[in-house]
Structure 1
């Protein structure tokens, strides 16, 4: 037996939560031939109006589904039903309408995503430039490290040179002592020679009668 029914879903949040898509999905699951849905508002409260047409068994099953279930973000106060004898659209028309609505909502989001991708691409290019600069600096730093390492490798040789100098420095007191000894050895002989020279000079003066 074919019948028609009107359902009214009311609550503080039943618009813009995917309610019509939810109703369409469940109507298609039950193969209901007739379905119309639209948003409404009455006394400051949001409503979704549902018109269904089909055999009694399918409509009864559909009503049970929408009484017990709702979209995740929806806030429903009550669901009421009443007889209806007006026109009910074909479910395919609702499917097309829902598709258009979803596309209308998606286009601004897609445009935002496009702009975000452009911004990310620009940031990525800048980041790549910074990475290249860091890589160049890193290469220069590695070159400096290699130069420092090369100089560091000379430290053992420098250390050996310092040890040799220190060893020679340790002999300085001994050399000084030797010089002092030589001076002491030279001084007595030098004094004798100087005395002899003085005596020879006096003898020559006496011979010359001066």
Structure 2
């Protein structure tokens, strides 16, 4: 975990190992530093309390990140709802401001597209799956044809 000592930042690593493996860990840490990191000092001391297993630490870190992301995602969802709602105004604004007639005509389908975006995305995914399947199927057919040709001596 990250820690601070006065104006200095530090990383605390609890390593449950014998002295030889701890030394290997420290050597590895020195050799594999991130580009902007530096090591001024390494201290080792006994630690008698229980060390949290890595999977628990990773799970806790995941929950911390999710907690940070949830408010952002909720705000994004609200922004998307607002955008979806406001797209209905685009054709009206284009017509009322006497913009180029083509703009008004081209923006008319936007509200309908916004309402149907989930259906459209599902259709695109379906087409992608079909295309992927067709490409794989075609490749297998071509491979089978080549094998048959080779067996009967046709090039």
Report the TM range for the smaller structure's normalisation: 0.3 to 0.5
Q: Structure 1 length as normaliser, TM-score?
A: 0.36
